[in-house]
Structure 1
Amino acid sequence: MAELNWAVVGPGEIAHQFARGMQDLNRKIYAVGARKKEKGDAFAEAYGIEKVYDDFDALFRDEKIDVVYIATPNSNHYEFMLQAVKAGKHILVEKAITINSAELLAVQAVAKEKNVIVAEAMTIFHMPLYKKLKEIADSGRLGKLKMIQASFGSAKPSDPENRFFNLELGGGALLDIGTYALSFARFFMTEKPSEILTTVKKYETGVDEQSGIILRNEKMEMAVVSLTFRSKMPKRGIVAYENGFITVEEYPRANQASITYLNGEQEIVTAGDSNAALSYEIQDMEQSILTGTNKTAPLTEDVIAIMTNVREQWGIQFPFEKR
């Protein structure tokens, strides 16, 4: 496959991590798009980028661009995704990929017509550790899956104006950190959940501040997810099987896990590098483009469907979302 020309839309902090990941792989970014040209210029200078756009329509029309990495706030994802795929660009989009299932399905329909790949930059689906843990689980030596626990707590300053609590920007713990916990749970569940129970405490702006979510599928596998934006909790995931349980600390970018067996014996499993998380996403995206298949798409669809269902139960709707 010839070298792909990448463009970055939204040169914020996560985009800087992406650019460093590209450098680690000896890849070059061809273009960057930013609402403020000076921000785009600074990003381009830092990473040796040839083209700078403050007109996103012009960026998407650039025939030299093959792939667009979208790293804007949640509220802009759908608009930019649709523009990009209509222009025949492959897209890698920061989590959460869309606000709801209707948006994702709409983009996927156009992508299918244009024969382009749509993928989410969800670290859990790309880290080597998880591929190794899945192989262990699929081997059957741990027995049947029974229960998953995933917690994520982040102590955000109480500020109605910042993006974490801003309804206009798609704020709330669910879309920001819940997507990790739910992706962790769905990754290990052998099929999508059929039952979703939840409770929520809302922030003064109307977004979710903390919540509990219980999932169950037809195989009676269950998951319990705990989220909060107002206190610190460990990013710990536990996957319990008949013959033992897997524990993953700092699970969003983990490179190590432990397996504890019923007799108390413990096995340490290691794979990958936490610092290379975005490099793995880039490599998987390139492989998806090469093969024409995004293997993580069904997982992404299920997680977005769960979050859509949960917000409907909470009665939280963003003013910009498409349904």
Structure 2
Amino acid sequence: MTGLHWGILATGGIAHAFTSDLRTAGLHVAAVGSRRIDSAREFAAQYGIANAHGSYEELVADPDVDIVYIATPHPGHVDNALLALDHGKHVLVEKPFTLNATEATIVRDRAAEKGLLAMEAMWTRYLPHMVRIREILAAGTLGEVRVVSADHTQKLPTDPAHRLNDLALGGGALLDLGIYPISFAVDVLGLPERITALARLSDAGSDAEVATTFVHTGGAISTTVSSSRGAGMNAAQIVGTEARIEIDRVWYTPTSFRVVSPEGDVLEEFSSEVEGRGMQYQAIAAERFVDDGAAANDVLPIDETIAIMGVLDEVRRQIGVVYPGER
């Protein structure tokens, strides 16, 4: 860890979860900013943060802040990231990184211009069980990987005005839920060469359920299902010619998995022992990348984040979802 001073931009639920894990890991949170000073002060008091700001502009101008965690709703990510970068701050941007690949490219280019880190907060990739899974894949234990499947299904509010359903706020299952299994499939198999997507849209026009089938290099197939209308198993598997990995529920949080032979023999078992929710691992990685240089991010490079946003753009094109006002 490099001892960077974190600033928290926005005070919603995900900001609370992230800041709690930063405290658990002993990382330094220097400031918080909200559009309402009362909210910032309440947040600061809860987590023992020295500086509370009543605007995002004040937060990014704080000289005691080195890196900003951006926790606003999806449409605000691009402008909030640019604001922080223009004030010389590194950024960790909550997923989805932006609404689309065009916006993600704008952020990447500004960060490169300023010599700063811009990183997507896809915290799942940094969890211990995912680190071990990538080691197993690299060792060739599974043989040739042929199939990846994962789902992310939750029973979420159905109010059309809720952030999760409001198209003006990037609502729908894809950006809030589907990005997890889609990013997972890309992590294991690389970017898809062919994309097929189906969805059921809500009365508000947002995607309530989304199913994808991707064909990757060499013909490997990945399938994902996401839903905001019902909670499923939320398990995942990676199937190879010599073995498979079965990841238990909830696969995108700290959990357990098994490596199983075709005959059903368990070759390895892994169980996570993580304090807190586990969001601190991405923060620790971000500090290391700042220390080593932004290009050191080999877990989720910014160019891969942009490419995944492009995949999501194509999924939306196929299912007919457009966000008002997106660049």
Q: What TM-score results when the alignment is normalised by the length of structure 1?
A: 0.95
What is the one-letter code of the residue matched to 2:279?
L
2:297 to 274, 294, 297: 294
- Say whether residues 1:311 and 2:316 are aligned partners: yes
Which residue of 2 is the match for residue 236 of structure 1? 235
C-alpha deviation, 1:300, in angstroms: 2.3
Structure 1 window deviating more from structure 2 (246-255 vs 130-139): it is 246-255
Which residue of 2 is the match for residue 80 of structure 1? 80
Q: Structure 1 CA distance, aligned partners of 2:304 and 2:108?
A: 14
C-alpha deviation, 1:38, in angstroms: 0.8
Cα separation, partners in 2 of 1:274 and 1:44, compared to 1, 3 Å: closer
C-alpha deviation, 1:137, in angstroms: 1.1
- SS where residue 231 of structure 1 aligns? coil
C-alpha deviation, 1:290, in angstroms: 0.7
Identity in percent:
28
Which residue of 2 is the match for residue 203 of structure 1? 202
Which residue of 1 is the match for residue 67 of structure 2? 67
Structure 1 window deviating more from structure 2 (296-305 vs 221-230): it is 296-305
What is the one-letter code of the residue matched to 2:284?
Q
- SS where residue 252 of structure 1 aligns? coil
Q: Structure 2 CA distance, aligned partners of 1:141 and 1:208?
A: 37
After superposition, the C-alpha distances for 1:82-104 in whole angstroms (9 at most, x for unaligned) are 11112221111111111111111
5 Å-filtered alignment, 1:1-323, equals: 3-189=3-189, 191-249=190-248, 250-266=250-266, 267-273=268-274, 275-292=276-293, 293-295=296-298, 296-297=300-301, 298-322=303-327
Cα separation, partners in 2 of 1:276 and 1:226, compared to 1, 3 Å: closer
Q: Kindly indicate whether the alpha-carbon contact (under 8 Å) linking 1:184 and 1:237 is maintained by their aligned counterparts in 2.
A: no
After superposition, the C-alpha distances for 1:118-145 in whole angstroms (9 at most, x for unaligned) are 1111122110111111111111121001
Q: Kindly indicate whether the alpha-carbon contact (under 8 Å) linking 1:198 and 1:213 is maintained by their aligned counterparts in 2.
A: yes
Q: Kindly indicate whether the alpha-carbon contact (under 8 Å) linking 1:153 and 1:232 is maintained by their aligned counterparts in 2.
A: yes
Q: Kindly indicate whether the alpha-carbon contact (under 8 Å) linking 1:74 and 1:170 is maintained by their aligned counterparts in 2.
A: yes
Q: Structure 2 CA distance, aligned partners of 1:201 and 1:42?
A: 40
C-alpha deviation, 1:216, in angstroms: 0.9
- SS where residue 93 of structure 2 aligns? strand
Q: Structure 2 CA distance, aligned partners of 1:273 and 1:207?
A: 35
How many pairs align? 321
C-alpha deviation, 1:229, in angstroms: 1.2
**Which structure 1 residue ranges, 5 or more long, are not aligned?**
none
Q: Structure 2 CA distance, aligned partners of 1:165 and 1:19?
A: 26
After superposition, the C-alpha distances for 1:253-278 in whole angstroms (9 at most, x for unaligned) are 13311111112101312345273411
After superposition, the C-alpha distances for 1:210-253 in whole angstroms (9 at most, x for unaligned) are 12101112221110111111112111111100012111121111
**Which structure 2 residue ranges, 5 or more long, are not aligned?**
none
Cα separation, partners in 2 of 1:242 and 1:280, compared to 1, 3 Å: same
Q: What TM-score results when the alignment is normalised by the length of structure 2?
A: 0.94
